[in-house]
Amino acid sequence: MSERWISELTDQGARFADGRIAGFGDSPAELAAVDTQPVICDLSHDGLILVSGEDAAAFLHAQLCNDVQALSEGQAHWNGWCSPKGRLLATFLLWRGRQGYFLQLPRTLQAAIQKRLQMFVLRSKVTLADVSGDWVRFGIGGHDADALLTEVLGEVPAMPMATVHTQDGRLIRMSPQRFEFVAAADDALKLWRQLTPRAKPVGAPVWDALAIRDGVLTVVPATQDAFVPQMANFELIGGLSFKKGCYPGQEIVARTQYRGILKRRLARVHIDAPTVNVGDSLFSAEFGDQAAGTVAAAAPSSKCGFDALVVAQIEGLKTNSLRLGALDGPAAAIQPLPYAVPEIS
């Protein structure tokens, strides 16, 4: 982050913890704001890899589970990188810009994933660069976010996973009411100041909560190599292609799809508990003492407790019988997602 950007956030009351903004001094009010007004959130806790060069599209297409070669400039999609066993090592918001392909992922994974990807470049004309510090990124979401952005910028992308390139930067629409703006520090600061009189600054946990509402899972260190893409609903959010050809783990991912052997799915739940952590186990009467699922993402809820994304046994999801930590633990009550999940809908 640039010093000017840090200074701006600090002057507005930002409190930093674990490499990201924890909040601006009133977490309950920040959580409640998403239902009544737009909110705005710094995303510097995410890393950004720029993949450029003559062979960039072909290289990424051969490594990732979604169709990179189908992206034209200005388009974005969710994508993932799998192990040879078909398990997600990283998930990305990926967009094609004028400089090449941008891969956004948690900063806690960025260096290791970039290093590992570099191993497969070999003789390809491809350059991988950490550009996390070159571009300021912040999210705009919540109630009437699209109306505010339209008023300030003049236009917004009409559909999710489309972008518009304004004179100041790039605006990506991830869902009906969740956007990301990417720009150089001075331009980002200009728009931030235009928006903050009407968009409430919030900490990263609020942005996590909005992603949970959208049913979009981001792999973090605690969930690396844990889920095939379908367990994370990636084919349901446009993050997985079955027509693109080979990539690491592709045979296992395809077998899971076409042989109907998927046993676990991602679901959104609410848990009325004092703490919920990524990696916590879930239990269900149908499975006895054997864990029936795992918490894959969690954020405080405006209604007390936590909202979470869990990857759990489909049978436990169908009966809505999941409990946190033990068979008599707090209930993990299933909440609606903005898309249908075939096995549990």
The DSSP H or E segment spanning 29 is helix 27-33
The reported pLDDT for the residue numbered 3 is: 84
pLDDT value of position 181: 98
Q: What is the pLDDT of residue 167?
A: 80
What are the residue ranges spanned by the domains of the chain? 1-259, 263-345
Helix (H, G, I), strand (E, B) or coil at 74: coil
Q: How far apart are CA 340 and CA 235, in angstroms?
A: 11
The secondary structure element, H or E, covering residue 258 is helix 250-258
d(CA 121, CA 115): 10
List C-alpha distances in Å: 241 to 69, 78, 134, 259.
11, 11, 31, 16
Spell out the per-residue pLDDT of the chain, length 345, in tens.
678 899 999 999 999 999 999 999 999 999 999 999 999 999 999 999 999 999 999 999 999 999 999 999 989 999 999 999 999 999 999 999 999 999 999 999 999 999 999 999 999 999 999 999 999 999 999 999 999 999 999 999 999 999 999 888 999 999 999 999 999 999 999 999 999 999 999 999 999 999 999 999 999 999 999 999 999 999 999 999 999 999 999 999 999 999 888 999 999 999 999 999 999 999 999 999 999 999 999 999 988 999 999 999 999 999 999 999 999 999 999 999 999 999 887
- The number of residues making up the chain comes to 345
| Predicted TM-score of the model (pTM) | 0.96
pLDDT at 344: 84
Q: In what order do the strands lie in the sheet with 46-52?
A: 76-82, 88-96, 101-106, 46-52, 127-130
Residue 4, pLDDT score: 87
Any residues with CB less than 8 A from the CB of 81 and at least 6 apart, and which? 63, 64, 65, 88, 89, 90, 91, 92, 113, 117, 248
User: Residue 168's pLDDT is what?
Assistant: 85
Asked if residues 20 and 47 have their Cβ atoms less than 8 Å apart, the reply is no
> What is the residue type of 10?
T
263-345 adopts what CATH topology?
Elongation Factor Tu (Ef-tu); domain 3 (2.40.30)
Element spanning 181, H or E: strand 178-183
Beta strands in 223-305 (DSSP E): 264-271, 281-283, 293-300
- Compute CA 201 distance to the chain's CA centroid, rounded to the nearest angstrom: 19
- In CATH, the number for domain 1-259 is 3.30.1360.120
Predicted confidence at residue 169, as pLDDT, reads 94
Please name every residue paired with 200 in a beta bridge, in sequence order, or none if there are none.
39
Q: What is the pLDDT of residue 260?
A: 81
